[in-house]
Structure 1
Amino acid sequence: MIRKRNAIRPFHRAVLLTALACGTPAALAQNTRLPDPIPGTLPTAPFSVTLRPLLKGLVSPVAGAVAPGQPGKLYIVDQVGIVWQAAVDASATEKNRATPFLDVRNRLVTLGARDERGLLGLAFHPDFASNGRFYTYTSEPATAAPDFSTQPAGVAPNHQSVLTEWRVTTAGAVDPASARVLMRIDQPQSNHNAGALAFGPDKLLYVALGDGGAGDDQGPGHAPEGNAQSLAPGNVLGKILRIDPLGSNAANGAYGIPADNPFVGKPGADEIYAYGLRNPFRMSFGPDGTLWAGDVGQGAIEEVNHIIAGGNYGWRIKEGSFLFDANGTGPGFVYAHSPNSPLGLLDPVAEYDHADGVGAPVLRQAVIGGYVYTGTSIGGLQGQYVFGDYIGSTGSGMLLTLGPRNVVQRLAVQRRDPLGMAVLGMAQDASGELYVLASENGSLTGTTGVVLRIAPPPPL
């Protein structure tokens, strides 16, 4: 049972934003960086797993999805712009296991080797078996008018995040002419794009957006208080949105606004479900309806959140459960542990710091949100949230799980310690089994991208 927490009240929000405008939440004259916010190392789970290859030869697999009515398939998103459909049953062979399903490479911005942009999200409508609709989240050139923008006058965005609806034919192939844009969002910078898409038990679509990029959630295209904290008209960055893709009462007429969204009636914020997020790159619904999101931190803390309606998750007032100093003359930093304070901000259910990586401290550490395990092949994982950490081009990616009292634990992989790959995403098939999406170089070059099934270790 997840205890429901109250969203931030208007008075508390005003106090927070006033403090933030003064430089720090506590309005201190000088703060000192915490070099090791969470002392110690991550414990290891009391059991181990193995990884079994499902797909190889991809570039940068970042997400997976299941289409209702197709329990034997897993759809894999390659960031460079291709969705693959892969058979997960035992009858498939390496030669016939995967075929292209959708190619959107011609819609994307030009991607660099370490780009965070691309094809970032995929979700199938719960009624896909009858209506054939699915949705993608892409990074595209800013060639059309945006539905949402934080850009100052005369300053062009880096690109646009585009949410598109597609339909399949009766033969199961994608109809290219069916592409229908639901929304376009100007992005100030090339990073912190988020991109996760997920349908909830309510059959509504949840869309994750980062704070717009750069550092400290500040600069051109960022609100004075930071995009993640802003509920100003047009600012949907640093938020999770909730929409009805089959509706039409949005301002552009392309989708619907659920009447029970927490900010309905506030100009420019009808779509917002939760805010105060830096880069919720991956999110998923658990079997009990809880929305889990891994929010990528800046320089110190990685966090896992339970997302609730109206929740404010603290960025850039906090990073995890620590107060954050946006500095202004250099990179921001955490300086004090402040659990459950300031009032009205929601702390993560689990967090770990950047000193917990293999070969710590490390650079390019980023939480990769996962799934609650509901499969049957690994008894020790039943009901646990399984996720990962990227850890850059060092090949030191980690698999993680939440143990008792939501303690973050390393999930040991037999014959792969360290993992030897960068973890890019997670996937879950219709049977509840889990997959690691990874690559050897953690970049958009080469074809070292793989999809690996998490499996029990072989018997002794």
Structure 2
Amino acid sequence: MINDEIIEIEIRGFSFQPASITVPAGTEVKWINFDPFAHTVTADDGSFDSGSIRGNGGEFYLTLSEPGTFLYHCIPHPQMRGEIVVTAAEMSNHPSGERPRVKVELVAEGFTAPMGLITARDGTGRMFYVDQIGLVKIVYLNGTVLDEPFIDLTDRMIELRTGFDERGLLGLAFHPEFSENGRVFVFYTGPLRPEAPDGWDSTNRLSEFSISSDDPNRVDMDSERVILYIDKPQFNHNGGTIEFGPDGYLYVPLGDGGGANDVGIGHPPDGNGQNTTTLHGKILRIDVEVTSDDAAYGIPADNPFVDDDEILSEIYALGFRNPWRIAFDTGGEGALLVSDVGQDLWEEVNLVVKGGNYGWNIREGTHCFDPADPLNPPPLCPEVDARGEMLIDPVIEYGHHLGTAVVGGYIYRGQALPEMEGRYIFADWSNSFSTGNGTLLVATPSSEGLWAWEEVEIADSPSGRLDLFIRSFGIDDEGEIYVLTSSRLGPVDRTGAIFKIVPA
């Protein structure tokens, strides 16, 4: 045993508690069975098996020396499932470890469905709040919210479902030279256009607007130039958090078309995530500096597939299910982090590189995936795509015993939380569809394997959580991070709020 500490997992009420732990390699883990019935701790891949652990105090010890993700279950009671993520890093999320603690400070409230809070970096101190219902509002960090919308797309959008919807106004990006040229870009869902296939759901639009000549706090709504139409077969998996990269190009994440498992109407046999003749399930990279009246956008000369006639040249990376949150690290080498919402078992965050294939729907996270049986990962699956290129594993993954949908955040580069410097702050949306119960998380980058992650405790909350749906994140000019929440599942009412993450 490399580490002296023994980590305990309790078996109670036909469950492993906690069901998911992350520990450094060499840590000894002990299961204690408090149930009156015998259980087993059996690896899905057969690498370990406790045999029968007697009830009322039986124990099983295990030390895992190699990094990796180890899934296990109880043979007599297969509904009991757990995982151990073994890392080479020193960080862990095991229950005896002291969790990092922060407070959250209310900045503004009274919104509907927060989707983003960004800065134009124009020296005005304004922040721009993105609401799924089709509004962008100007927010000052003293809590002032301007009444008049900066952008109002409500008359151009599809009518949203009040119970739950993934469509709407999803992305906002300011041109890198916005303070000089006043160019603003949005990604939103409109009604299905006439040119779209019959029976499909809607059409997403990537559009450019210009700032009003009369009012710098408004865009000219008559200036819309649609850059790209993306017809959608289903209402979900839209992607949409657009962002300009350090290279000046616009990055556009797109979901796999919707539905489930990347199958059905609008999904080819190999799935949109793997199909290189569709934009669905991809990260696009385009040049918005149009030099021809015939083109709505340009293709960067160094895009990875510009010389391949069988792959759309807009594609920067592929193999995604619903990569709706993306962010570039404002420090270091400008790494691109993309959170990809999973299907039924696993959530993931990917460190995306040019030309990479991130596996969907061959894999979900680091695990094999079968679209015909999504709850039971097959033991074997391809390690390469149809082109013979290696599938790339995520840098972060966790199971659905923690939550249901990953919400990507930012690498922290601010000043208020020095202990978070260089770490990735992100979240899970909620572990329940009925009551918001989002989890704030932080991961430590590693040069090898999965990054170690742990839950962040909200110091001024009795539960240690926000007890709200965590919808998105924001970042200001100083690198400080904001968490965006609401207490309603769908885009209704005015329970949306913006909180700043501050020291505990």
Amino acid at match of 2:121: P
Give the Å deviation of 1:423: 0.4
1:160 matched residue in structure 2: 203
The answer to whether the 8 Å contact 1:322/1:339 transfers is: no
Give the Å deviation of 1:341: 6.8
2:67 matched residue in structure 1: none
Where in structure 2 are the equivalents of 1:411-430 lying within 5 Å? 411-416=456-461, 417-430=464-477
Matched positions, count: 402
Give the Å deviation of 1:157: 1.7
Where in structure 2 are the equivalents of 1:16-415 lying within 5 Å? 36=81, 38-39=83-84, 42-43=93-94, 46-70=99-123, 72-88=125-141, 92=142, 94=143, 100-113=149-162, 114-145=164-195, 151=197, 155-170=198-213, 171-172=215-216, 173-232=218-277, 235-248=278-291, 253-265=295-307, 266-267=309-310, 269-286=312-329, 287=331, 288-327=333-372, 331=374, 333-336=376-379, 344-357=390-403, 365-391=404-430, 392-403=433-444, 405=446, 406-415=451-460
CA deviations 1:165-185 (Å, max 9, x no partner) are 011034312111211000101
Amino acid at match of 2:238: N
What is the distance in 1 between the residues matched to 2:210 and 2:189? 20
What is the distance in 2 between the residues matched to 1:39 and 1:249? 54
Q: Which moved more, 1:206-215 or 1:339-348?
A: 339-348
TM-score normalised by L of structure 1: 0.82
Task: Label 1:434 to 1:116 Cα distance change in 2 as closer, same or farther (>3 A).
Answer: same
Give the Å deviation of 1:350: 1.1
Task: Label 1:404 to 1:294 Cα distance change in 2 as closer, same or farther (>3 A).
Answer: closer
What is the distance in 2 between the residues matched to 1:367 and 1:190? 19
Larger helix share, 1 or 2: 1
What is the distance in 2 between the residues matched to 1:333 and 1:71? 52
Task: Label 1:267 to 1:144 Cα distance change in 2 as closer, same or farther (>3 A).
Answer: farther
Name the SS of the counterpart of 2:419 in structure 1: helix
What is the distance in 1 between the residues matched to 2:381 and 2:395? 14
Give the Å deviation of 1:84: 1.1
2:5 matched residue in structure 1: none
Gaps of 5+ in 2: 1-77, 86-91
The answer to whether the 8 Å contact 1:370/1:425 transfers is: yes
What is the distance in 2 between the residues matched to 1:45 and 1:214? 40
Gaps of 5+ in 1: 1-32, 358-364
Give the Å deviation of 1:389: 0.8
Amino acid at match of 1:117: R
What is the distance in 2 between the residues matched to 1:356 and 1:325? 22
The answer to whether the 8 Å contact 2:305/2:315 transfers is: yes
The answer to whether the 8 Å contact 2:286/2:314 transfers is: yes
The answer to whether the 8 Å contact 1:139/1:162 transfers is: yes
Task: Label 1:63 to 1:144 Cα distance change in 2 as closer, same or farther (>3 A).
Answer: farther
Give the Å deviation of 1:338: 7.7
What is the distance in 1 between the residues matched to 2:425 and 2:383? 25
Name the SS of the counterpart of 1:401 in structure 2: strand
The answer to whether the 8 Å contact 1:339/1:347 transfers is: no
Name the SS of the counterpart of 1:105 in structure 2: coil
Amino acid at match of 2:236: N
What is the distance in 2 between the residues matched to 1:336 and 1:34? 18
The answer to whether the 8 Å contact 2:305/2:311 transfers is: no
What is the distance in 1 between the residues matched to 2:317 and 2:489? 30
What is the distance in 2 between the residues matched to 1:34 and 1:236? 38
The answer to whether the 8 Å contact 1:439/1:449 transfers is: yes
Task: Label 1:445 to 1:432 Cα distance change in 2 as closer, same or farther (>3 A).
Answer: same
Give the Å deviation of 1:162: 0.5
What is the distance in 1 between the residues matched to 2:80 and 2:202? 35
Q: Which moved more, 1:173-182 or 1:258-267?
A: 258-267
Q: Which moved more, 1:433-442 or 1:342-351?
A: 342-351
Q: Which has the higher contact order (CA 8 A, sep 6+)?
A: 1
Give the Å deviation of 1:332: 5.2
The answer to whether the 8 Å contact 2:484/2:498 transfers is: yes
User: Considering only aligned residues, what root-mean-square deviation do their CA atoms show, in Å?
Assistant: 2.3
Q: Which runs of 4+ in 1 moved over 6 A?
A: 337-343
